[in-house]
Amino acid sequence: MKQGTASTVWLTVGLALFYFLFNAVAGAQGWPFNLPGIKFEGFDHYAIALVATPIGLAVLSVLLWIGAGYARRSDSKSLKQRLPVPFKLGDPDSAFLHAAQLGAFVAFPAIALVSLYIKYLGGQFCRHAQTGGTGCGAAGYITAGVNWQHFAYVPFGMASKADEFIYQGKATYWPFWEAIGITAMWLLFVVALAWFLIAVFRSPATR
């Protein structure tokens, strides 16, 4: 991908990610406002976190790979020149604009995702019960776990059985497997962040 194209994609993906996560956090935390467009109407606060966390992690990891690719194609010895052009319009040598775009496209999403991940773990998951009960907002379910119990092993066949488990707010849920999958996506994000930082801070002569 050429640097001009990479810079445009960086801006587009970064803005979309900021927009998506701002509204996800607003919905998950019950804020009385959000940005127009993307809404999570009808979702439980915890279910928003369950849905938004893996999507946000995937998009942020892709964004960091794009930024790393841009940096590795730069021959400049200036750190600021190895970052994508801020907002595709700003001065490539402006420290303030670079700080603004990194804050909006990297720092804010990372903080928002930590908040959403914690919210997700704080939600209950429930199991279908023949004896009745009302758990996770649905009749016929009882609470099966919360917090770190999301990581308690459940055989795949049982976890994936239709209607056997649900998450708070009546969302479809596979206990253990979804928790492990989301955690693995955190590891992918850490690798992408490290690759981005290495690409930006290494001098051209050492690449």
DSSP characters for 189-205? HHHHHHHHHHHHHS-GG
Q: What is the DSSP string of 142-186?
A: EEEE-GGGGGS---HHHHTSTTTEEETTTEE--TTHHHHHHHHHH
State how far the Cα of 189 lies from the Cα of 59, in Å rounded to an integer.
9
- My answer on whether 109 and 59 are in the same domain is yes
Mean local confidence (pLDDT), 41-58: 91
Cα distances (Å, whole numbers) of residue 10 to 26, 62, 102, 205 = 24, 9, 11, 25
- My answer on whether 103 and 48 are in the same domain is yes
Q: Count Cα atoms within 13 angstroms, Cβ side, for 135.
A: 22
What is the structure's pLDDT at 31? Answer: 84
To the question of pTM greater than 0.95 for the whole model, the response is no
Residue 170 has φ and ψ, to the nearest 5°, of 70, 25
Cα distances (Å, whole numbers) of residue 39 to 18, 35, 52, 157 = 14, 8, 12, 33
- My answer on whether 34 and 129 are in the same domain is no
What is the structure's pLDDT at 174? Answer: 93
Mean local confidence (pLDDT), 8-35: 90
- My answer on whether 150 and 55 are in the same domain is no
Q: How many domains does the chain have?
A: 2
What is the structure's pLDDT at 24? Answer: 93
Q: What is the DSSP string of 44-67?
A: -HHHHHHHHHHHHHHHHHHHHHHH
Domain that includes residue 90, residue range: 3-121+180-206
- My answer on whether 40 and 62 are in the same domain is yes
In percent, the amount of the chain with pLDDT more than 90 equals 57
The number of angstroms, rounded, from the C-alpha of 36 to the middle of its chain's C-alpha atoms is 20
Which residue type sits at 100?
A
Residue 176 has pLDDT above 90, yes or no: yes
Confidence of residue 62 (pLDDT cuts 50, 70, 90): very high
State how far the Cα of 8 lies from the Cα of 101, in Å rounded to an integer.
13
- My answer on whether 159 and 133 are in the same domain is yes
Instruction: State which H helix or E strand residue 133 sits in.
Output: none
**Mean pLDDT across the chain, nearest whole number?**
88
- My answer on whether 103 and 129 are in the same domain is no
Beta-carbon contacts of 50 under 8 Å, excluding residues fewer than 6 positions away, are 120, 123, 167, 171, 173, 178
Which residue has tokens 């996770």?
A: 136
**C-alpha radius of gyration, the chain, whole number:** 20
- My answer on whether 36 and 64 are in the same domain is yes
- My answer on whether 39 and 91 are in the same domain is yes
- My answer on whether 51 and 116 are in the same domain is yes
- My answer on whether 144 and 98 are in the same domain is no
- My answer on whether 109 and 133 are in the same domain is no
State how far the Cα of 179 lies from the Cα of 50, in Å rounded to an integer.
10
